[in-house]
């Protein structure tokens, strides 16, 4: 039996085991991928769930050192998608049978923003006969806001911890960005009965394999329902760009991301894991490869084309001029090639969410 299989057969994987698995190359890495593929087949099957992604606005009050739409970048045109355009995109997703949408934007906490979102959620629910599943990715908010959005129809929330190592987190953010506040937001979301998703960037400057192993253990400890993680990709107009000489090659960052997806599938068998756009940015078959080793969710971009070039979190974001119809057609081909199948007209809720709730009742 190979060394990799010996490690994988343990009941519990330690940090040291995870570091060894993250360091695998060549055949050993393929052993890891095959193992994850089997775990995926057994526990979540080959269905892929679509979430139509609408990048609502690039206005952001935060200034994360890695992100292209940070408030300190003066070179971008700031937008908020018109309400009717959002509703048109939702209608498209609904009629195509996507089952769910994701509303994402820069972070704002002002009343105008939180009320606009609340009203939008109500309109979306009405437009879709309360049928569409809504995931929000709108940053850190207070408990009241999360509650109002939950009551208005949102049932899932994505808030990446970005890096679970506090010291690394501090290197990636200005001093007024608070790790504990972000962690507390994840706890609030859980308390308010959202399906909770988090994630990290992979291949960041200063990040070690030990950090990534700790990220995986952090997801487990928090008992998350969903995960969206992908490679860090540099952006010239950000402070972190100065450390680009510390980065792994794009291929290495991609493979490391794939190993993270595979390991999370092995560690948390029934969570939803997204095959992220950033993975596709570094490898044109990136999402397909992620589906093979563990992912089961894809977020086709439904943002109206005229706004897309203003939502550049990182360089070389793909499909910037592809219409929704083209995106769906290409994705379907890639998904089939990966031996998977799109599950239309289904929410594709996190099975983990239901199993942990059942456990709590017993």
Q: Which residues bind ligand SF4 (CB under 6 A)?
A: 60, 62, 64, 67, 69-70, 106-107, 139
Give all strands (DSSP E) within 119-172, no chain letters. 133-137, 156-158
Tell me: does residue 189 bind ligand SAH (CB under 6 A).
Answer: no
Q: ∠ CA(30), CA(31), CA(36), 5° rounding?
A: 95
By the 8 A CB rule, do 132 and 90 touch? Answer: yes
CB-nearer residue toward ligand SF4: 139 or 294: 139
d(CA 204, CA 227): 18
Closest residue by Cα to residue 194 from 352, 55, 336, 37 = 352
Say which DSSP state 23 is in. Answer: T
Of 99, 139, 197, 300, which one interacts with ligand SAH (CB under 6 A)?
139
Which residues inside 97-126 make contact with ligand SAH, applying CB under 6 A?
104, 106-107
Tell me: does residue 205 bind ligand SAH (CB under 6 A).
Answer: no
CB-nearer residue toward ligand SAH: 105 or 128: 105
Tell me: does residue 214 bind ligand SAH (CB under 6 A).
Answer: no
CB-nearer residue toward ligand SF4: 99 or 139: 139
Instruction: Please count the residues of this chain forming the interface with ligand SAH, following the rule CB under 6 A.
Output: 18
Tell me: does residue 233 bind ligand SAH (CB under 6 A).
Answer: yes
The encoded tokens of residue 239 equal 């402070």
Say which DSSP state 80 is in. Answer: B
Cα 173 to Cα 64, 162, 240: the distances in Å are 5, 10, 10
By the 8 A CB rule, do 238 and 67 touch? Answer: yes
Strand partners, 274: 297
Closest residue by Cα to residue 101 from 49, 47, 151 = 49
d(CA 249, CA 28): 20
CB-nearer residue toward ligand SF4: 69 or 204: 69
The encoded tokens of residue 208 equal 């070690």
Of 39, 150, 162, 218, which one interacts with ligand SAH (CB under 6 A)?
162
Residue 104 binds what, of ligand SF4, ligand SAH, none (CB under 5 to 8 Å, by partner type)?
Answer: ligand SAH
CB-nearer residue toward ligand SF4: 85 or 237: 237
Least distance in Å: CB of 104 to ligand SAH?
Answer: 5
CB-nearer residue toward ligand SF4: 59 or 220: 59
The residue ranges that bind ligand SAH (CB under 6 A) are: 60, 66-67, 104, 106-107, 137, 139, 159-160, 162, 201, 232-233, 235, 278, 313-314
């Amino acid at each position: 039996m190979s060394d990799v299989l010996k490690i994988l057969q343990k009941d519990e994987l330690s940090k040291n085991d995870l570091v060894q698995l993250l360091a695998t190359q060549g055949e050993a890495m393929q052993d890891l991928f095959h193992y994850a593929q089997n775990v995926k087949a057994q526990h979540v099957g080959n269905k892929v769930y679509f979430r139509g992604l609408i990048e609502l606005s690039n206005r952001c009050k935060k200034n994360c050192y890695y992100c292209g739409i940070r408030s300190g970048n003066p070179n971008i045109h700031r937008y908020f998608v018109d309400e009717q355009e959002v509703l048109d995109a939702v209608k498209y997703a609904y009629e195509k049978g996507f089952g769910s949408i994701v509303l994402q934007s820069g972070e704002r906490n002002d009343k105008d923003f939180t009320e606009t979102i609340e009203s939008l959620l109500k309109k979306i629910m009405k437009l879709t006969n309360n049928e569409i599943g809504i995931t929000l990715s709108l940053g850190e908010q207070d408990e009241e806001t999360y509650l109002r959005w939950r009551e208005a129809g949102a049932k899932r929330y994505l808030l990446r911890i970005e890096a679970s190592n506090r010291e690394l987190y501090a290197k990636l953010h200005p001093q007024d960005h608070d790790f504990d506040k972000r962690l507390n937001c994840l706890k609030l979301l859980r308390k308010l009965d959202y399906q909770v998703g988090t994630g990290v960037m992979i291949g960041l400057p200063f990040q070690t394999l030990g950090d990534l192993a700790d990220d995986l253990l952090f997801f487990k400890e928090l008992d998350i329902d969903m995960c969206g993680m992908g490679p860090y990709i540099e952006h010239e107009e950000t402070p972190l760009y100065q450390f680009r000489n510390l980065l792994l090659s794009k291929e290495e960052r991609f493979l490391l991301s794939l190993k993270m997806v595979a390991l999370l599938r092995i560690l948390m068998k029934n969570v939803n894991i997204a095959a992220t756009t950033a993975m596709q940015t570094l490898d044109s078959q990136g999402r397909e490869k992620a589906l093979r080793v563990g992912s089961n969710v894809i977020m086709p971009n439904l943002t109206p084309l005229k706004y897309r070039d203003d939502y550049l979190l990182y360089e070389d974001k793909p499909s910037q001029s592809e219409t929704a119809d083209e995106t769906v057609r290409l994705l379907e081909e890639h998904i089939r090639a990966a031996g998977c199948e799109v599950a239309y007209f289904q929410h594709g809720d996190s099975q983990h969410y239901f199993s942990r709730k059942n456990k709590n009742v017993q």
